[in-house]
Amino acid sequence: MADTDPKGPSVLRVPEGDNRERLVCPDCGFIQYENPKIVAGAVCTWGEKILLCRRAIEPRRDYWTLPAGYLELNETTLEGAIREAWEEALAIIEIDALLSIYSIPRISQVQLFYRARLLTPEIGVGPESLEVGLFDWEEIPWDRLSFPTVRWALHHYRETRDLTDFAARTNPTGENGNY
Amino acid sequence: MADTDPKGPSVLRVPEGDNRERLVCPDCGFIQYENPKIVAGAVCTWGEKILLCRRAIEPRRDYWTLPAGYLELNETTLEGAIREAWEEALAIIEIDALLSIYSIPRISQVQLFYRARLLTPEIGVGPESLEVGLFDWEEIPWDRLSFPTVRWALHHYRETRDLTDFAARTNPTGENGNY
């Protein structure tokens, strides 16, 4: 390991046989092929109530979010959504349907939200949460939600809650997920 | 740049504050957070005919595929599917609906296929294709398709072709995308 601060892939170059610039490490020559990341999450319900978590980490620490996070290697999107509900809210869920798929190009994310049922109302605070709770629709802290996609997913859940076979919702018209 | 062969992130270590091993570069200390990749593609039709491309590159060179490829940074999934149809078949398409979303955990991919219309029947061979063509259902070279997900997407297209509001299809039961 270099005794200076690691630079990592930090120089833009078009690798041989490629058609766009990639980040290359000036120390070791490693080419970093960076691709968009997948976030998997769920709107988890117990009866009429919806599971929300108050974030313990940045960005948007202290704001309320739906359990969701980066998909890991060798994981299916369903497994990712189930894992995140467990990690963030100690919730055991059953996936019911694909609710929505959002693209947030500015931060190169594709976010998938599922509709899910809590198998038990027992929930708890995971390492990335300060607080977790089950909210009636009227109780949702709309002015304290962490991200636009959380608001979208909640409204798309409300809109499709009585449907069994429906097209996954996408970004609201004209919205790109920026604040 | 090191004068020896670049190692790149090649040592497994659990970074501080993380809960799993990541690849770290022994030369420069760079931590590579590797995540699953998103593939965006489309079943593109002109009337009854379906667009297929014969691959010019490995893996599965010479086998027939649907236009699809890795989503790039700052790209929406729709933009990715439209770009790939252009790059691989010089096809200009209009996306109609989300057809399917497949997880292939072994290779850490999530593949999204859209249902799309060709805006003109003019197609051509892009750099990654040896040949492109418009096939009637009966003409599809089933025994020469490149990947299981191509077969799945074609059948899911056939199954949903007359539907306007339908749930995106997923991996056929028990199938993980391996050969």
- Cα A1 → chain centroid: 33
Across residues A45-57, what is the average pLDDT? 97
Nearest-angstrom CA–CA distance, A56 and A64: 10
Flag whether residue A29 sits within 8 Å of chain B, measured between CB atoms. Answer: yes
| Residue A150 parent element (H or E) | helix A148-160
* Cβ–Cβ below 8 Å for A73 and B168: no
Report the 10 Å Cβ neighbour count for B84.
Answer: 26
Q: Is the pLDDT of residue A19 over 90?
A: no
- The pLDDT assigned to B33 comes to 81
Nearest-angstrom CA–CA distance, B13 and A109: 25
* Cβ–Cβ below 8 Å for B105 and A74: yes
The complex scores an ipTM of 0.87
Q: Report the residue of A16, A25, A96, A160 to disrupt the B interface, i.e. the one with the largest count of B CBs within 10 Å.
A: A25
Flag whether residue A108 sits within 8 Å of chain B, measured between CB atoms. Answer: yes
Using a cut of 0.80, tell me whether the model's pTM lies above it: yes
Nearest-angstrom CA–CA distance, A33 and A50: 38
Alpha-carbon distance values, B59 to B55, B62, B63, B65, B132 (Å): 8, 9, 9, 11, 17
* Cβ–Cβ below 8 Å for B30 and A26: no
Reference A148, options A177, A119, A107; nearest CA is A177
Across residues B149-173, what is the average pLDDT? 97
Flag whether residue B58 sits within 8 Å of chain A, measured between CB atoms. Answer: no
Nearest-angstrom CA–CA distance, A158 and B21: 39
Calculate the dihedral angle through the C-alpha atoms of A53, A164, B158, A36, rounding to the nearest 10 degrees: -10
pLDDT digits (tens, 9 = 90+) for B5-30: 667 888 888 887 777 888 888 888 88
Q: Are A110 and A25 in contact (CB under 8 A)?
A: no
Q: List the Cα angle B144/B148/B152 in 5-degree steps.
A: 105
Across residues B119-126, what is the average pLDDT? 97
Which residue in the set A34, A78, A171 is minimally distant from B73, CB to CB?
A: A34
Question: Mean pLDDT across chain B, nearest whole number?
Answer: 93
* Cβ–Cβ below 8 Å for A76 and B103: yes
Contacts of A58 in chain B (CB under 8 A): none
